[in-house]
Chain A
Amino acid sequence: MMPALTAEETRQRENETQFDGPESSHPLDIELSNELAREIWSALNTEAAE
């Protein structure tokens, strides 16, 4: 499990994720996004069964 962020780490993370315009984006990996969808649905099925 991911450890909780400290306040300082949170501030640092927030600064790192500052908006820098839509042109800075890179293409989506279609295969990874499909795999992610399957993983999310599978995990939610597991969660629902518990």
Chain B
Amino acid sequence: MSDFALVSSPEQMRDGYLCDLFAANGSVADLDDLKKRVAAFCELAKHFVSTIPGNRYTGEDVVFEPHSIRLMIGRFQRDAFGVQRLWNELGQRSSAGEQSEARTEELKEQILSLGIRVGTPKPRKTRIAAVFSLWMCVFRPVSLNYKASSDDKAAAMFSAAVNFWICRMYLSKFGEVLGGAAFTEHIKRVAHDFTYRDVSLSSLEMLYCGMFKPTPGQE
């Protein structure tokens, strides 16, 4: 994990960590790729805590659970981009003459009939965000140091807060994320749903669909 001071660079924050975390290319089976994604996630979480007013917490107060982070990122990547990668692989084999186009299409049909969570090579942005939130809800890979946060009633929702913040930032790169009066309702969902491990993908996707308006031509 890189040094906390790295978050002082807006450029890294803007197009580095978020892009690394949500990159469709690459594979978490590659240790360097996994390390990059883990570092990106950790820097984002530490950046979040640095925005809390009054210097209440520092990056040192963020407690990371390495195994949970690894599992969360692995399952997010598998669900969000697994079919896309498989389609690319099948396309390359077909182009190389290793299998016929008809066989490729047959395999695709068989794969899609398996009931995969995100059965499309072109997942919507809102679904990608929902998959990320789903696995972060399940694994809750970050928390605040108990000693530093024992009198903070919101501390138990730290992972939920980082989860929602990361996904809203991700969506904001592709369009407008609505706030206003709806924000209060969204926060209630975060407080309740995002602290529940058995949350469903469809309910999370509906939450994000309800707040996201893509930029014309950039959807």
Contacts and interface: CB of A to CB of B under 8 A. Distances in A.
B71 interface: no
B190 A29 contact: no
- B interface, how many residues as a size bin? 35 or more
A47 B187 contact: yes
Nearest to B129: A17
Contacts of A48: 153-154, 156-157, 191
B187 A33 contact: no
Contacts of B209: 5, 10, 13-14, 17
B48 A17 contact: no
Given A27-B14, A36-B165, A17 B172 contact: no
Contacts of B153: 45, 48-49
Interface of B: 10, 13-15, 18-19, 23-24, 47-48, 51-53, 122-126, 128, 152-154, 156-157, 160-161, 164-165, 168-169, 172-175, 178-179, 181-185, 187-188, 190-191, 206, 209-215, 217-219
Given A17-B125, A28-B173, A42-B53, 11 more contacts: A1-B181, A13-B209, A17-B124, A24-B174, A28-B18, A40-B164, A44-B157, A44-B191, A45-B152, A47-B154, A47-B157
Given A13-B209, A40-B190, A48-B153, A2 B181 contact: yes
B161 A26 contact: no
A8 interface: no
Interface residues of A, number: 35
A17 B125 CA distance: 6
B124 A32 contact: no
Interface string A1-35: 11001000010011011111010111111101110
Contacts of B181: 1-2
Nearest to B206: A10
A25 B157 contact: no
A40 B165 contact: yes
A30 B9 CA distance: 10
Contacts of B157: 44, 47-48
The list of the 8 closest CB pairs from A to B, nearest first, reads: A2-B182, A48-B153, A37-B51, A25-B173, A43-B187, A19-B122, A30-B10, A17-B124
B165 A37 contact: yes
A5 B210 contact: yes
B15 A18 contact: no
B169 A33 contact: yes
Contact of A30 (B14, B125, B182): B14
